[in-house]
Structure 1
């Protein structure tokens, strides 16, 4: 096994709508990507009308918070027109996309890439102030982030930036999954889609989740998780997969 390519020979199922940054990291680590998209990112039910109206009114907000690269993609360019607007995101991949589109750095990214960690970091950093916050979220997003910020005295507006639909795999997808060594779950939606469209027996030997929320969703739907990334990021997901792959090869 090459030290700089720890996933050489490992066929990894990527279930995101696009391989994106996760795919790039896996390829750099030597993995072979088996892209079987189990989620699809689409416009909100209203075609994005509420989102557009909210973005037209960005001047009234102090902060913009996004929780995924898909959310960043839908609001980043609008943020570029409002340099006063402070930016926050849950993870580094999301922050990178938001910063690229907004043309400036993302000010707040928590060390642990979880929504609750972002909420805690935001509350701590804005103690004794009341901020006007816009959350750009998926339709399936939970309410804990908004509730925590409101409980801390902030004026929070949540808007649906996109919908996540579950996608059924094709017969060819199923065959390619059967030949894979591992699957990397980067979202609870992908785990849910796997559980509803394929049996738990279809899982490869190694099943790694990006974080505890994704792992909990997978287990809720009857999927067995081999490991959870200690660093809840795409980089952490790939590192954890490499560790488990090395252990499997040496056993």
Structure 2
């Protein structure tokens, strides 16, 4: 087997939107992913299902794996011929020990590339309204590791740092905050110099404490801080309140779980992120076309016998037209057929294929579609319903009330529950770090339950798209809320309302 290759990829500070395009492209092609504890959940959820994952997480005083062993893993996996991505929080070369990892790769003549990442000393202050340089205050930025060996003094020239009159950013120094601030004052810094500790920047856990270099430690003890966090010292910290923007977004500070199938997830996720939410994309279900499509092919060969086709999901539309193409059926055969769609998502999927729905019910659910279609159909007409194998029977129950109506109910795709091991959803809910889960179908609720055995579901705040979805979530004892309409925008409005309600 030929030698593989290693990519050192910076995952950025947490917000998946700050993960670079090149980083994403490289990750999508990975066969092995070696990742650490500072990689954001949003980026972790982008690891392809086909990749083998190796966790080598390190946090202060809690080293999962020695650096030498990590270096060795990269060499061994590459020598087996794999495309290996070493996924590191922030940037690989900024206190990320990327240089050490490259040394062994170079020595072993293993090909490698480096994909830089957006780094926290610049991004995290930016998300807190702190420009690290500003013409009126400072023209230099200095990034320092705040980490020191236990029982030893700092080998940092604090006097030289004070003399720069620049912005100082200390990484990994929160446990030694008092030492850092005290050393700066002792080295001649004005005790009233603005200073800040910034917690979990660019994520839902973001928190800012601004004080002065002499009062910051006391303020942090009073208000509490969690890691990872960075320390920023300099006049620019005084701008934080005036320039703050992140917390003004409607969903800032909220972490939202989205459970839709991966191919339907993008619109909702991008809208949630624009509203400021940290989004965890963990599809609870996946859909796959059935291998045996004889019933559908038979229907496609005789499309002229149908007066209506009723689509109950965007996936149903996608599969129908994919199979239509495979069977060699000309789209013009649909010319005499009217089309019904269950809701806006399905209507949009049809529009993308150049087709306008003749009928969309006011309420977007199976029963309403069945009722509206039953009223629109004449006796003796023939309706084709291509849908999920485990689809709800409400549409059929309603259609069957019309005497003489002929119905071809054809399963075209199946639904499977998804599981993944990288992110422990149960642990996240039990720790209270996920504020809301969004469910867009009863099957996503059931898939989520399958993926979280043993979870106390009363801890799940569920934003549901409709009655059937809410009923499924209610059955597990979740704290459920239902959108006014069965649309993505209505679900987003519901999530915003829940956050506002949660404030009081």
| TM-score, length-scaled by structure 1 | 0.87
**Which of the residues 63, 87, 93 maps onto 2:345?**
93
Say if 2:458 is the partner of 1:186. no
1:143 counterpart (393, 397, 422) = 393
Counterpart residue number, 1:22? 268
Q: In structure 2, what is the Cα distance between the partners aligned to 1:161 and 1:123?
A: 22
Question: Over alpha carbons, which structure has the higher Rg?
Answer: 2
**Which of 346, 368, 384 lines up with 1:134 in the alignment?**
384
In the alignment, is the contact (CA less than 8 A) between 1:188 and 1:215 conserved in 2? yes
Query: What's 1:62 paired with?
Result: 307
- Between stretches 133-142 and 26-35, larger displacement belongs to 26-35
Is the aligned partner of 1:212 residue 2:467? yes
Q: Distance in 2 between matches of 1:59 and 1:200?
A: 51
Number of equivalenced pairs = 246
Runs of at least 5 residues in structure 1 that lack an aligned partner in the other structure = none
Deviation sequence 1:51-72 (CA, Å, 0-9, x none): 2332232222111111111001
For the residue of structure 2 that corresponds to 1:83, the secondary structure is helix
Q: CA deviation at 1:132?
A: 1.0
Aligned match for 2:335, one of 83, 91, 105: 83
Structure of higher RCO (CA pairs closer than 8 Å, 6+ residues apart): 1
Q: State how 1:153-168 maps to structure 2 within 5 Å.
A: 153=403, 154-168=405-419
Compared with structure 1, are the counterparts of its residues 104 and 5 closer, same or farther at alpha carbon in structure 2 (3 Å cutoff)? farther
Q: Which runs of 4+ in 1 moved over 6 A?
A: none
For residues 166-201 of structure 1, the C-alpha deviation after alignment (integer angstroms, 9 at most, x for no partner) is 122314253666632211011111111222331343
Query: Residue 347 of structure 2: SS of its match in structure 1?
Result: helix
* In structure 1, C-alpha distance between the alignment counterparts of 2:336 and 2:254, rounded to whole Å: 46
Q: Distance in 1 between matches of 2:310 and 2:270?
A: 25
Distance 2:458 2:469 in 1: 16
CA contact (8 A) 2:379 2:402 kept: no
Report deviation, 1:219.
Answer: 2.2
Would you tell me which structure has more helix in proportion to its own residues? 1
Q: Residues 67, 170 of structure 1: CA spacing in aligned structure 2 closer, same or farther, 3 A cutoff? A: same
Equivalent in the alignment of 2:66:
none
In the alignment, the residues of structure 2 paired with residue 95 and residue 105 of structure 1 have an alpha-carbon distance, to the nearest angstrom, of 7
- Which 10-residue stretch deviates more, 210-219 or 20-29? 20-29
In the alignment, the residues of structure 2 paired with residue 28 and residue 57 of structure 1 have an alpha-carbon distance, to the nearest angstrom, of: 46
Residues 42-53 of structure 1 aligned to structure 2 (within 5 Å): 42-44=288-290, 46-53=291-298
**TM-score normalised by length of structure 2:** 0.45
Q: Which digits, 9 at most, give the CA deviation of each residue in 1:156-175, with x for residues without a partner?
A: 10111110011223142536
What is the match of residue 287 of structure 2? 41
Question: Cα offset for 1:145?
Answer: 1.1
Counterpart check, 1:32 vs 2:278: yes
SS in 1 for 2:352: helix
Corresponding residue to 2:364 among 82, 100, 113: 113
Change in 2 beyond 3 A, CA 1:240/1:107: same
Deviation at 1:225, TM superposition (A): 3.0
Distance in 2 of aligned mates of 1:48 and 1:8: 46
CA shift in 2, pair 1:223/1:60, >3 Å: same
Structure 2 regions of 5+ residues with no counterpart?
Answer: 1-244, 325-329
